[in-house]
């Protein structure tokens, strides 16, 4: 098939993806903005900051609805080509069903490549930036975040965190404690923190300096349990939610948990689900092709859209059921994440073989 025809099909499919994605993202961004307007006026949180918060969530919304966008976009775009007899024209110009499928899958690979880029390089930064901006605007604490790290203070204690490893592990931490005369009497420096609970921080490789009559006394300890004064909103500024981490950070965080013999199963589920988002998206596009090319009658755009939405909702519900059941049975994390897409592939294969048999 000529390259021009292939490019036309790819552009048509991508246009369908873009249109559906724009509608879904705009709808849920509006819902998120309405929720945020309830907080406008609290401390320094303004409408402009609320809009900024919503815009920073757009990449995450695209990621969340990638499979639905893939399915509905493919159904609408391919349906339009069928209804306008464009596929007939393409066949007359030398295009075969195999060429058409290759063109559609090329568009799918481009879309899923974008999804991977969003998951790995974009959403971790935009979601964390949104959290920091919102928390600082709503907080009554004198927290600051700058190029020097995170600073917070309470009851004559100052906390400084220079680095956040893998999005969830505070590192290069300093604690300054002052007496009633605001004179420094304790200085604690730690290489890394294991947050066991919100207020229970296990510091590792600790240097503890205490002021005595003879001067500062220095102690070196492998571990030190410190009671943190940060509340949940402050902790959210420095610690990312697992679902917003990049694939590499989430993988490294899981390996760190395993090294400490800590529970990592639920984080592994999140990791594999992120890995298989592109796979699920491609399965949805194949399912969309089945709806269009497998239909024995011409359906309107609205009928195909409704069909795509129902299939997308059904896939989402099935994914949730399989995930909860697999977790309860302690199935391997990769199996739990891959099973929904594998089920769709088996369904498509069975329907295709049945149609060929007839």
Give me Rg for the CA atoms of the chain. 26
Interior/surface letters 79-91, b for 16+ CB within 10 angstroms, e for the rest: bbbbeeebbeebe
Residue 250 has a pLDDT of 94
Q: Which two tokens stand for residue 357?
A: 């048999």
d(CA 344, CA 57): 29
Query: Residue 110: CB partners within 8 Å, gap ≥ 6?
Result: 10, 14
Domains of the chain: 3-139+265-357 (no CATH), 156-228 (2.60.450.10)
**What are the residue ranges in the chain where pLDDT is below 70?**
1-3, 95, 140-143, 294-299, 301, 358
To the nearest 10 degrees (0 to 180), the angle between helices 3-37 and 66-83 is: 130
pTM equals: 0.86
Q: DSSP letters along 111-142, please? A: HHHHHHHIIIIIHHHHHHHHHHHHHHHH--S-
Residue 181 has a pLDDT of 83
Residue 299 has a pLDDT of 67
Q: What is the DSSP letter of 244?
A: G
Q: Tell me whether residue 259 is exposed, middle or buried, using C-beta atoms within 10 angstroms of its C-beta: 0 to 12, 13 to 18, 19 or more.
A: exposed
Residue 84 has a pLDDT of 81
Identify which of 155, 96, 110, 129 has the alpha carbon closest to the alpha carbon of residue 17. 110
Question: Tens digit of pLDDT for each residue in 229-283?
Answer: 998 778 888 888 888 899 999 999 999 889 888 889 999 999 999 999 999 999 9
Query: Residue 105: CB partners within 8 Å, gap ≥ 6?
Result: 282, 285
- Give the chain's end-to-end CA distance (angstroms, integer): 28
């Amino acid at each position: 098939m000529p390259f021009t025809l292939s490019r036309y099909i790819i552009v048509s499919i991508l246009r369908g993806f873009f249109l559906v994605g724009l509608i879904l993202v705009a709808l849920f961004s509006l819902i998120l903005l309405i929720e945020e307007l309830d907080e406008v006026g609290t401390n320094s949180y303004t409408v402009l900051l609320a809009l900024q918060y919503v815009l920073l969530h757009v990449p995450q919304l695209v990621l969340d609805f990638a499979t639905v966008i893939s399915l509905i976009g493919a159904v609408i775009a391919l349906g339009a080509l069928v209804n306008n007899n464009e596929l007939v024209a393409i066949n007359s110009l030398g295009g075969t069903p195999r060429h058409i499928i290759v063109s559609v899958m090329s568009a799918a690979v481009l879309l899923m490549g974008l999804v991977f880029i969003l998951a790995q390089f974009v959403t971790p930064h935009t979601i964390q930036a949104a959290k920091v901006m919102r928390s600082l605007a709503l907080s009554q604490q004198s927290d600051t975040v700058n190029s020097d790290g995170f600073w917070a203070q309470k009851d004559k204690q100052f906390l400084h965190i220079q680095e956040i490893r893998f999005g969830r592990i505070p590192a290069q931490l300093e604690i300054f404690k002052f007496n009633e005369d605001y004179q420094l009497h304790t200085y604690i420096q730690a290489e890394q923190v294991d947050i066991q609970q919100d207020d229970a921080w296990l510091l590792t490789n600790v240097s503890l300096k205490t002021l005595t009559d003879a001067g500062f006394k220095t102690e070196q300890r492998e571990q030190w349990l410190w009671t943190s004064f940060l509340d949940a909103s402050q902790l959210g500024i420095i610690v990312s939610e697992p679902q917003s981490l990049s694939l590499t950070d989430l993988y490294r965080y899981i390996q760190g948990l395993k090294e400490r013999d800590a529970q990592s199963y639920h984080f592994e589920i999140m990791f594999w689900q992120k890995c298989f988002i592109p796979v699920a998206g491609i399965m949805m596009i194949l399912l969309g092709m089945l709806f269009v090319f497998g239909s024995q009658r011409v359906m309107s755009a609205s009928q195909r859209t409704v069909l795509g939405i129902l299939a997308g909702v059904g896939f989402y519900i099935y994914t949730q059921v399989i995930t909860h059941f697999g977790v309860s049975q302690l199935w391997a994390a990769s199996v739990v994440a891959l099973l929904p897409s594998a089920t769709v592939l088996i369904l498509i294969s069975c329907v295709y073989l049945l149609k060929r048999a007839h």
